[in-house]
């Protein structure tokens, strides 16, 4: 039996084509390496102390600062809806280092950074950097409870967005989703994985 145009329209309405979601692709495509990163952040390990925290902040600054310099050089990211400048975390890490009595200019920088030469690569990288603010909420509570560190007093990085974490994440998702299609997904996901891998290696490297 032949299928008429009307039947095709009805079938399409009953079985709509799934809408492409780059963030579902990113979550699925980075789940394994994301778990490995969490194992490298020792905040919840027994015996975690201020000296351990100082080392962690130095590691994060050594990764975030040079990477954010690269991201800031991309003209495609200079969009008011993204507000890249307002998303930079290295200034918070600098504040934390100084509060802890450490000099940011003496912190060793990570040399093996992910490539962020295109806007698609930048989106993959930013998925990792922006996503870190979600888990930071749990870490900030732990730091305040155990080490008496809080926003403006040694833990500004982990309190970067304050009460606006959820909204900032949603704004980021909306911005990226409107600009990434299925044809971009391989590059975006690959760079997110590369960013996680670079951070994983950096956190485990001997300095």
Place of tokens 């690269």: 70
Q: Are 85 and 184 in contact (CB under 8 A)?
A: no
Ramachandran quadrant class, 170 (left: phi over 0; alpha: psi -120 to 50; beta: rest): alpha
pLDDT of residue 20: 85
How far apart are the C-alpha atoms of 156 and 36, rounded to whole Å?
A: 24
The answer to whether position 4 is within a domain reads: no
Total domains, the chain: 1
Distance CA 36, CA 34 (A): 5
Residue labelled with tokens 């870490």: 139
Q: Counting beta carbons within 10 angstroms of the beta carbon of residue 144, is it exposed (0 to 12), middle (13 to 18) or buried (19 or more)?
A: middle
The model's pLDDT over 23-79, given as tens digits with 9 standing for 90+, comes to 999 999 999 999 999 889 999 999 999 999 999 999 999 999 999 999 999 999 999
Q: What is the pLDDT of residue 195?
A: 98
Q: CATH number for the domain including 43?
A: 1.20.910.10
Task: Specify the pLDDT at position 18.
Answer: 54
What is the separation, in whole angstroms, between the first and last Cα of the chain?
72
Full domain range(s) for residue 81: 19-204
% of the chain residues with pLDDT over 70: 91
Q: Label residue 63 exposed, middle or buried (CB < 10 Å: 0-12, 13-18, 19+).
A: buried
Q: Residue 98: which residues within 8 A CB-CB, separation 6 or more?
A: 104
Answer whether residue 3 is part of any domain.
no
- Does the residue 32 lie in any domain? yes
10 belongs to a structural domain: no
Q: 132 lies in a domain?
A: yes
Is 11 a member of any domain?
no
With beta carbons less than 8 A apart as the criterion, state whether 43 and 142 touch.
Answer: yes
Is position 12 within any domain? no
Residue 6 lies in a domain: no
173-198 confidence digits (pLDDT tens): 999 999 998 889 999 999 999 999 99
pLDDT-derived band of residue 207, with 50, 70 and 90 as boundaries? low
Say what the pLDDT of residue 1 is: 40
**pTM metric for this prediction:** 0.89
SS3 state of residue 153: strand
């Amino acid at each position: 039996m032949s299928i008429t145009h009307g039947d095709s329209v009805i079938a399409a309405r009953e079985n709509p084509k799934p809408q492409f979601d780059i963030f579902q692709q990113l979550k699925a495509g980075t789940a394994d390496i994301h778990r490995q990163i969490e194992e490298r952040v020792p905040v919840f390990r027994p015996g975690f102390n201020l000296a351990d925290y100082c080392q962690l902040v130095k590691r994060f600054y050594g990764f975030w600062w040079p990477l954010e310099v690269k991201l800031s050089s991309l003209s495609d990211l200079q969009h008011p809806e993204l507000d890249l400048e307002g998303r930079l975390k290295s200034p918070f890490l600098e504040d934390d280092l100084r509060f802890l009595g450490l000099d940011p200019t003496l912190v060793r920088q990570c040399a093996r950074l992910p490539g962020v030469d295109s806007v698609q690569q930048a989106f993959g990288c930013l998925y990792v950097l922006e996503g870190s603010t979600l888990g930071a909420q749990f870490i900030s509570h732990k730091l305040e409870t155990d080490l008496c560190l809080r926003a403006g007093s040694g833990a500004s990085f982990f309190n970067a967005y304050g009460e606006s974490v959820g909204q900032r994440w949603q704004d980021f998702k909306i911005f990226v989703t409107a600009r990434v299609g299925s044809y971009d997904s391989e590059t975006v996901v690959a760079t997110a994985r590369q960013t996680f891998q670079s951070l994983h290696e950096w956190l485990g490297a001997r300095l």
